Each structure stands twice: as structure tokens, then as C-alpha cells.
Amino acid sequence: MFEQIRSNRIRSFVLVAFMGAFLVALGWLLGLTFADNGAAGLVVALVIFGILNLVAYFQGDSILLSVAGARKIQQKDHPRLYNVVEEIKIASQLEKMPDVYIIDDQALNAFATGRDINHASVAITSGLLQKLNRDELQGVIAHEIGHVKNRDVLLMAICGVLLGTIVILSYYGSRILLYGGMSGGSRRSSRNSGGGGGVAIIAIVALVLMILAPIFTQLIYLAVSRRREYLADASSALYTRNPEGLASALEKLAASGTPVKNANQATAPMYIVNPFKGRSVNAGELTSTHPPIQERIRILRAMAGNVSYVSYNKAFQQVKHTRAGVMSSQTASLMGETVSAQPPSPEKTSLEPAAEKIERSREVSDLMYRLNDYRTIDCDCGARLKIPPALRGQVVRCPHCGTMHQT
């Protein structure tokens, strides 16, 4: 485990440094283009880069949770979810219970964030909470806590903020350059030195770099995040002793075509599956933020009998038809003990009772009403009225019996 954490830290440093170099290069070229002073642009870029890293480290998780529209809940709000997180926290030997967040979204997805294991959060959508049974929910939560244990969450938070910044700067910088910078710079240079060729060349180079910067950083970001998804899947199988739980959950996530409403290019790799399109099975390896879902399912189901990182590594090699594992054999043998897989639960051997699905829907619905500050009124006819905040202080009629209620 410590070897893997050290490897993650090295990759994190290299990736953040590479993204920072792009940001600094953009600043230098833009300084030459717009102010005829590359050093000024370099200083500004360094200051921005430093501020962004501080913000990403201390507030990156809060920013990402806010962008996702996540709301923090307590055990009393949804005991089933909170208890599952607590169970996986104990199974993974995590020192501190992660904060639990819910996202009001019918898409099926989840992510973890935070700067370290003592400042971690797990967020899941209301749609996922409604559709997954307990075994499947355990598999997803264990996957996300696997990201926390493997020290992935800090890198994802930092890269999410930095990548988003580079994309925004490149977007607006290219348009300023196209619609005013090149001609303005040429006129300025012509007045000062009698020729605008040098400025035009610099402007073109800056434009090319601004176009390539987000592409290169995104490809590197995706290459790192895909491998982390495999490791988090392996961690989930070990913590739950039930690879089928996560495999079944991934099947449901693959079957859902509902995109996450608030997902964007910078936050997409944080989610357990591609948040833009639930059916990401056939996504290419260089264009998808995640490995193919069906491949992940096959690997998990190939872990018959004993569960360990070693058995996951072997299943990975078998499914991928490669001698290279997701980790080295030596690292896999050091990352955790081998345990016996749990037998399938009764609900996996037969159709899930409709009553359980209805109860899950009612739990999630009541939770979202409470989080959105709805007031509940129980009518004498047995109907339960959900009153939105906008109707507070007014009189409403029960649609079933016609009784008037003061809200």
C-alpha cells in the first residue's frame, strides 16, 4: 500500500508540475503578445498558479462539491446510506469517517473528494441512492473510499481546479487573440518599430499553445484517472469481500443514459462513471475519462473465490489479455491480505421485491423534500402533503378530500 501511495504522490507532482508549466508558458506568451513583456506575463502566471494551488489544496473539495450541487447530510437524514459509509470506513481501516453528501440528480453517479484522509467527502446522486440495493451501494461507496485510501482525492481536486482554469484561460485568451490581439499587437508594433511580423508570429504560437494546452493536460489527466479507477475497483472488492456488488452496480450505471446535470470537463474524471453519458461502454480509451464499464465488470466477475489485489491483478491480465497488470505483482502482494468472497445475498438470486424499491424511493424522496425545506402536513384522510417554501403562510387544499390546511 505504501509503495502505491508513494507512486501516486510522484505522479501527482509530475502532473501538477506539467499543468503548471503550461499555465506559465501561456502567461509568458500572452505577456509578449499583449504587453511586449514576457516577464510580466510570467510573473502574473506564477502568482495565479500559486494562488490556484493554495485554493485547490485548502478549498478544492468545497469548490467541487459546490459545483456539483452536493449537500451535506447527517445520519438522521438517511440512516441506510450513512451506515453503509460507516461500515466501509471500518472495513477499510480509514482513520476518520468521511463527510456524506447527496446530489439532487436523477443520474446514477458518485465521487469522492478532499485533500487527505482526514478531510474526505463522499457524494452520491439521489438517483443512485434510489436505484441501488444495499450490496450495490456498498460496492460504490467502497470504490469511492478506495480513492480516499489510495490518496487519489487530493490530486483529483487540484487537477480539477487547475484544468478548469487552463481551459477557461485558453478559451478566452484565444478569442481575445483572434478578435483583437493579433491586429492590435501588429498595429502597436508597427508604430513602435515599423514591423509587425514578430508580434504576429508570437501571437500565432500563443494561439497554437492555447489550443493544445487543454488537450495535452486533459489526455494526461485521463490517463492517470483511468488507472486509478481500476485500483479503486480492486479496493472495493477487498473492502466488501463482494466483487459482485460493485459489478452489479456498474451494470445499472451503464444501463442509465441520464447525464449528471452539473458535471463539466474538469470534474468529469472524479465520478465513478462518465457523467456526460451513462452508456459509456464503447468509449475510446483516449477520449473517455473512464475505462469501459463492461471491461471493469468482467474483471470484477473474474475474481471468483478469494478476493485480494493479487486476484484482481490476475483477473485484469486475463480480461485485458496482457502480461502487465494494473500494478506490479510485488506491489499487489503487499497491498492487502487475501480473504474469502462472500456468497451472493438472497436478493441477488431472485428478483428484488417491489416493496424494497418503493421503500428506497420513499426514503430518497423524503430526504430531498427535507433538504429543499419542504414542510409536511398529514391530512385526516391519510394523504401526506408536501408544501414548498414558496407556499408558507398560505392555505392549501388537500387534493384527495378537499380539507383546507394552514401552512
DSSP per-residue codes, 5-74? HHHHHHHHHHHHHHHHHHHHHHHHHHHHHHHS-HHHHHHHHHHHHHHHHHHHHHHHHHHHHHHHTEEEE-
* Alpha helix (H) residue ranges in 92-133: 126-131
Q: How far apart are the first and last CA of the chain?
A: 56
- Here the cell at position 132 is 441501488
State whether the Cα torsion 295-300-301-305 is positive or negative. Answer: positive
- How far apart CA 222 and CA 388 sit, in angstroms, is 42
Q: For residue 94, what is the DSSP state?
A: -
Contacts of residue 392, Cβ cutoff 8 Å, sequence gap at least 6: 375, 407
- How far apart CA 187 and CA 33 sit, in angstroms, is 12
Residue 369 φ/ψ, nearest 5 degrees: -60, -45
Which of 136, 144, 229, 244 is the catalytic position?
A: 144
**Strand, helix or coil for residue 98:** coil
Q: Are 159 and 16 in contact (CB under 8 A)?
A: yes
Burial tier of 198 (Cβ tally within 10 Å: 0-12, 13-18, 19+):
middle
Q: Is 144 a catalytic residue?
A: yes
Q: For residue 258, what is the DSSP state?
A: P
Among residues 335, 276, 353, the alpha carbon closest in space to that of 150 is found at 335
| Active site amino acids | 144
